[in-house]
């Protein structure tokens, strides 16, 4: 269930913050990648299809997500709050 929890947190993070979603898209463009907005994994009546869609988004977004998380974790980014870095 840890992967489901992770995917739910990812979907909430990008659903609630247009700034974070824009940042992820900008990094993806710089990396010549295409990102898909993360979705909640085990939700809905068609939970298997929802999980497959969420996993596909995670797989496609993985390089851009890693680059973004590394940038947030570096001490060079002053505008990122410490609470956000720990997430």
Q: CA 63 to CA 35: how far, in whole Å?
A: 10
Per-residue pLDDT of the chain in tens (87 residues, 90 and over written 9): 587 788 888 888 888 888 888 999 999 999 999 998 887 666 556 677 878 888 888 899 999 999 988 887 776 656 656 666 555
pLDDT at 6: 81
Reference 38, options 22, 23, 60; nearest CA is 60
Domain locations along the chain:
2-86
* CB-based contact 46:32 (threshold 8 Å): no
pTM of the model: 0.71
pLDDT at 44: 57
Residue 31 in contact with residue 64, Cβ under 8 Å? yes
- C-alpha distances (whole Å) from 64 to each of 16, 70, 72 are 19, 10, 12
Q: What is the per-residue pLDDT for 16?
A: 85
């Amino acid at each position: 269930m840890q992967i489901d929890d992770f995917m739910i947190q990812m979907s909430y993070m990008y659903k609630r913050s247009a700034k974070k979603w824009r940042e992820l898209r900008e990094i993806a463009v710089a990396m010549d990648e295409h990102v898909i907005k993360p979705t909640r994994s085990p939700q809905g009546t068609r939970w298997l299809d929802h999980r497959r869609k969420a996993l596909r988004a995670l797989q496609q977004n993985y390089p851009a997500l890693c680059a973004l998380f590394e940038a947030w974790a570096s001490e060079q980014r002053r505008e990122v709050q410490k609470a956000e870095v720990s997430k």
